[in-house]
Amino acid sequence: MSNKKSDEEWEKILSDELFYVARQKGTQPPFAGKYTDVFDDGTYVCACCDEPLFSSDTKFPTHCGWPSFAKPISQKSVSEHIDNSLDTQRTEIVCGSCDAHLGHVFDDGPEEMGGLRYCINSISLKLIKK
Ligand SMILES: [Zn+2]
């Protein structure tokens, strides 16, 4: 499934803040997002296109200020891009369906969950509770 649209189309249907984060690769301030400390059971879908991205089963508490997950729901649900916008190279995570910017993946996640930390902006997600 692909949900690609032009920036002009997205700008019409998204809120200003979601457009800034999802389409212009913005970052929410830490602890500003609504899902940082939410641990309800459910599926986190893309706020732009409703593609299922992360399960609450893989969400873990962190002190970084953004919702963090050990892995995406499937290999196809997200895509990775190399991001050189800061001094250190990071790996950007985007929605596999609509290319919305979601956040970055780091290798300092819990070892028992695979060692990765998908650090995601709350606003790029919608929680569909079980
Ligand atoms: Zn999407």
pLDDT tens string 6-41: 999 999 999 999 999 999 999 999 999 999 999 999
- Which domains does the chain carry? 7-129 (2.170.150.20)
Residues 6+ apart with CB under 8 A from 8: none
Active site residues: 119
Asked whether 29 and 48 are in contact (CB, 8 A), the reply is: no
pLDDT tens string 50-83: 999 999 999 999 989 999 999 999 999 999 999 9
Token digits for 76? 């196809």
pLDDT tens string 88-130: 899 999 999 999 999 999 999 999 999 999 999 999 999 999 9
pLDDT at 1: 56
Q: Give the Å distance between the CA of 33 and the centre of ligand 1.
A: 18
Q: Give the Å distance between the CA of 100 and the centre of ligand 1.
A: 5
pLDDT at 15: 97
Tell me the C-alpha distance between 62 and 52, whole Å. 22
